[in-house]
Every structure is written in C-alpha cells, then in structure tokens.
Structure 1
C-alpha cells in the first residue's frame, strides 16, 4: 500500500512519542486480520507486567512513552519497559506473516489498497463520533516537482491518505520560514483536494506525478522524508530570494 508505506513513519512518531494511539487504527482497519496482532501484543504486555508485578502510579495521558515512563512506579521500570518492548515484538512477529501473505496482491492493487486506507481514516473518525484534529491533520497532502521561476506565495504539503507526517512537514517548513523572516502561506491538503492555484506543492516521490496532474502549474518538489528534508532549506532560500528581489 503506497499511502501506508509513505505515512507509516510519521504515524509511528505520533503514536509512540506523541501518545496519540488512534493514528494506527486506520492501518489495522484497512487489513482487519491485523487485529490478531494487536490482541497478541496487548496480551503480551499485560502478562509481562503481571509476571514482574509492575505498573504505573497514575494514568499516562496522552499515552506516549515519555508519559508512561514518567508515571511508572519506582520499582517497576524493568517490567514496564520490557512490557513495551515485548508487546511490540510480538505484534511485529504476528503482523509480519499476515502482511507478507498479501504483499503481492496489495502491490498489484495499490490504488485500491490506498482507497481502503483512506476509508479506514474516515471510519476511525466516525467511530470516535467527533472530528479528530490528529486524523484531520494527517489527511494533509504535499506535492513535489521542479524548481521554477514563478513567484511562490502558496505552499501546500500534499499526500494521499494524509496520515500526519505531511502536517508535521508543513509545521517544520513553517518554522523554517519564520526563522528566516519570510512570510509564506504553508498548508497541507489531500492530493484529491488540490485546486490548481498552488504555487509550490511538496509530496513524497511516489505521489508526485498524481499531484502534478491535479496542479500542473505549480512547482513540484519531491521529498523522501517529510520530517527532515534538505530541500526545505532550498525552498526557504528560493522564496527568500524572490521576496528580496521583489523588494529591490
């Protein structure tokens, strides 16, 4: 699944470090058999804590690894840390054969798989009964392409299913513009929602061509990692030079 591969790293950061666990729900819903892996991992974590008689002194909210460690009982660090590691390992070991078994089929029907992931995002939001800022932000998109001479005012990060990393990429670039003293409109959107009036679109490499079709007049920049790309500095320099030239 192209969208799943492209967005998984950002989802991992949000879930493990940020503690927003709902971000992994769409991946499981897109392939329901993965629920077995979730059950196995959860049971392993609980069993580890029972064996070591370890636990927390208060709820960890949000449930990031930092919050969990901060609320861990003084004599429970070994058990709690082991429970996290073993739960992750068991989940991986169960999920791996499930994913490998359907890998060829998913690659042949990648667009269909991406559609299922997008539908899973919508289903997760519906199941929560309210709009999720995390899932909405992750539905952001970023486009990519060649450097051009047109004036850059509107920068859009575009992705397919919009699972967080693009929204975070937009935030990174926004901060870089701010530090450079440059004003620019930086936002995120789904590729399907590109309107064609974007000046510069940032996407992951495999999604660039689709973004180019939706916004053919924009400058397109392809990146491998939304969180940390050297091309962001090039974009900031391009916009800064354009604005300085206009001022002169």
Structure 2
C-alpha cells in the first residue's frame, strides 16, 4: 500500500512539474506509435508448415507492422500512418483481407466536442466516418510501469466486436463454423505526465496520453514523444469520402465481405473485428 501511494505522489508531482507547459495556448505534441498485428496462419482451417507461415508473414510484414503519428493539443488530435516509400510487391499479393485493428485510415478526434472523423478505405472506395467518440468504461487500477521516461498506469475496458456471430471456414458454410466472441478486453497504459485525454486511433478518455495499447490481436507501443516542437503542424480534419456513420460503415463492410466470401466459394475473407485501425 505504501508503494502504491508513493507512485501516486510521484505522479502528481510530475504532473505539476509539466502543467505550465500544457497550459500554453499553442501547446502541441507528437507521439510516434509502432503497431504489430499477429495473424492466425491456419487459413480456412488448413495446417501449414513453419516455413510456409514464415514466408507468408514476411510477405505481409508491411501490412502487419506499421508506424503511426499522433499530433495532439489539449482537445484535438490527428492520427495517421507515417508516409514512406512502398517496397516492391512480392509474391502472394492476391491474398486480400480487411485488416481488423491493424492499420488504415486517418483519425481526427475532438474530445471537447466528443467528435470523431475517420477517413477509411474499403476495397478501393473511400469513406468518411463522422460520428461521436466511442465511450468506453475504463477500469483504472493501481498497477504501473515505466515506458521510457514516463510513469504509466494500467486501464482496461471491454469493447464489443462488430461483425458476424460466426466465422465460416471452408466451402460449406454449414460445416466447421466457429463461434466468434462478441466482446474482448482492451488494455491501455497511460501517463498522467502528459495530461491529455488522447491515444492512438479512436481511443481516448483516460487522464493522460495512452502510450501502450493491446487491442485484440494488435499491440501499439509509443516509441517517441515530441512536446512543443519548433515547427507546429496544423491538425488536419479528414474530408474525402462518402459520409457515413460508424454503424453504416460496418454494415457496408460486412455486406462487401459476405459478397466476396460468396464469390470465393465460401472461404473466409477476414471478417470479424471492429474495423480498420
């Protein structure tokens, strides 16, 4: 109990030590996140050798491992993938599936107004998702750890899975169906030393910047933070694409996946999950 209290006291002192910096009207920060998504290699229930799995993982590395930049101030943030030159395509490029929670799109969050604007690409078509920020009931505990020079505290929340109730494998949809979970637990590590209610993608709502996030099969870890950069960036608000709500977008995505699954003879095309991360 004394150890927990000491950590809390230290955190409070650190917050007070930086509060003047965050009180500036033109305050801005940038957080760089590395994302890594694990993938079930037993596609369609088919067993593969370790060598085959290794080859597929290597070909898909650019899709499974990404770097994102979160630019934020006291009330707004803009989250996008870091721009980089695309590597030449290797074999296996015909494997199409929607990366659930693995990257894609741009996110603008305004926590003061409770607004979320996301630009997403679904099978080559752009959508502009305009909706309220998702509200998660965070359970904030006393467990803590250091991430770089920042003292972080653990918080968890339950998030519902958006998608079908079953994941059909194989050509016959009546065989080998696996019931998919309807919800899962998200784990976040946030630091009160940066007292902004922001985080990667659509995550927010904690009394400090989220530096680490475990979202289903994706791990997001902050690798670099820049506070009050010399050259400030204007926070971009996405504006391209067909305007839809989150529910409308997920319905379109599910219908498209069902259509592609039917055209592919009933094979699973990567359904289940929340949507592009």
The answer to which structure, 1 or 2, has the higher relative contact order (CA under 8 A, 6+ apart) is 2
TM-score by length of 1: 0.26
TM-score by length of 2: 0.24
